[in-house]
Amino acid sequence: MKGKNQQRGILINMPDSLFDNDESSSQNEMDRVKGNLYSIDEVFEMIENLIIKKDFRLISEIFFYIRNKFSDNNIVLLNLYYYQALKEISSYQINNAKKFINLGISKLLYVPTLDGSLKNLLNLYYIERHRCNYLQGNYKESLDYYTNLLSDNFQELQENLKLKVYSYIGEIYYDMGLFKECLENYEKALKIAMEIKSYHGIAYILNNHAKTHKSINNVDISYESYKLSLHFSEKTKNPFIITKNLLDLGILLNSQGQVLSDQYYLQKLTEHENVIGKNQLIESIIKLLKKNADFLQEIRFEDYEELLLQENCDFQTKIIVLELYLQLLLKNMKENRFDEVFVKFQNTINELETITRNNKLYPIFIKSRLLKSKYYLIDANFQKALLVLQETIEQIKGKNLDIYIKLLETEIQKINMNTILFGKITLEALQVTSFVTQHLNEFLHYLFNFTYMVSKYS
């Protein structure tokens, strides 16, 4: 097993075929595993890379093989439970992940003496348990644990564990709307990732760094960070990370109206055409981004609706598609297609709200509720617009999301002022005024700049 000087999460010299997406290469890797061409440590490293790649079919085959071959080896099984938990977290099956984590912890606690590698494994279990907790909205508990772990055990912790903890603290602060603290922890994580030459880690942290700067409207810094993230993604040769970076960079450029004018981006799309083509869903979204930037091409509503129905469209990708769809609907509402689009507009907001609520993605859930309130304002329904925000505040109380509550309370004050100024006005009357246009513009502003508005309260 892994010795005291070996660390998880560092890309080792795995064969390039590991990062191909075709079935024959996956079968070749499975044959190598069965042929004992890799040590068990290398197999676990392979699993970690496959989790990043999201090749869950091959991972499941490897899990099944390991369980059978090492059924009487407790040390191997203890490591296996950890990777099964990581796989469940990656597919956002958080409760399933917790089952494997709790199983691993309970068995480790019965081991009479924990050597260095098993102590490290126990720490990893606890770190991922608290990751599960904050992914389900329990921010304070996880933040307290990570902070105490670093202060009490800093010298004893392996560097890869520190990298994980600083990254996760950054994610927690991001969700809480504390972007300054978020960036401070990402910078600490990045320094460690650079020192241990973890290309996966560098690419991942730089991507989050770019996302955070985008959130606070530092577009130029965000752009450069996405480019750096893509650079290190290319070093991993991992198609999932590369396509994610290209998509994220494309969404940033889309918000600036620069998808077709940015030569660097267009060059990278051409360089990675084969990689993108292996993920038809992402390829379709990137094509829509390019189409959206070309004023000569018409985008059909069906283009987005068909994407949402694809089997491999997970909820995280659906959120991206829904927000881009809202952008298209808003454009059409402004082009005097109000009645035709209004129902689609409402249904899209409702779907975004449902997905984020069910998966406890509180920041995006709050955003969806704020957009829903704006929708009611466009419809001149002040009472419903007010009620949506009041209900949202009640739902997020006690979750350490005070900054979001301040934003919502400010919006409530604005609605109350609108009610006083405009009173009861019908939608028909409002359509000939600037009122609808004003709230359409506000909706668009919050669609793209929600986190920037949140940052003003931090």
Q: How far is Cα 175 from Cα 399, in angstroms, rounded to an integer?
A: 11
pLDDT band at residue 21 under the 50/70/90 scheme: very low
**Beta carbons of 216 and 456 less than 8 angstroms apart:** no
Say if residues 62 and 76 touch (Cβ distance below 8 Å): no
Query: Residue 434 has which token pair?
Result: 């600037």
pLDDT above 90: residue 221: yes
The crossing angle, in degrees rounded to 10, of helices 280-293 and 315-334 is 20
Per-residue model confidence (pLDDT) at position 380: 76
Higher pLDDT, residue 168 or 6: 168
Contact status, residue 247 vs residue 286, Cβ threshold 8 Å = yes
What pLDDT is stored for residue 420 in this prediction?
66
Side chain identity, residue 418 = N
- The DSSP secondary-structure symbol of 298 reads P
Q: Return the residue matching tokens 């399933």.
A: 96
Please write the tens of the pLDDT for every residue from 241-270.
Answer: 899 999 999 999 998 889 999 999 999 999
Closest alpha carbon to 314 in 276, 274, 285: 285
Question: Radius of gyration (Cα) for the chain, nearest Å?
Answer: 24
Single out the residue of 282, 307, 275, 285 nearest to residue 22, CA to CA.
275
pLDDT at 366: 95
Q: What is the pLDDT of residue 7?
A: 47
Q: Is 183 exposed, middle or buried (0-12, 13-18, 19+ CB in 10 A)?
A: buried
Q: How far is it, in rounded angstroms, from Cα 179 to Cα 83?
A: 30
* Predicted TM-score (pTM) of this structure: 0.88
Note the pLDDT of residue 16: 40
For the chain, the average pLDDT equals 86
User: What is residue 28's predicted lDDT score, i.e. its pLDDT?
Assistant: 75
Query: For residues 243 and 286, what is the distance between their CA atoms, to the nearest angstrom?
Result: 10
pLDDT in tens, 365-384: 999 999 999 888 887 788 89
Half-sphere exposure of 119 (CA within 13 A, CB side): 11
pLDDT: is 432 or 354 the higher one?
354
Span of 112-121, 210-219, 392-401 with lowest mean pLDDT: 112-121
For the CA atoms of 155, 159, 165, 170, what is the dihedral angle to 10 degrees? Answer: 110
In order, the DSSP letters of 172-200 are HHHHHT-HHHHHHHHHHHHHHHHHTT-HH
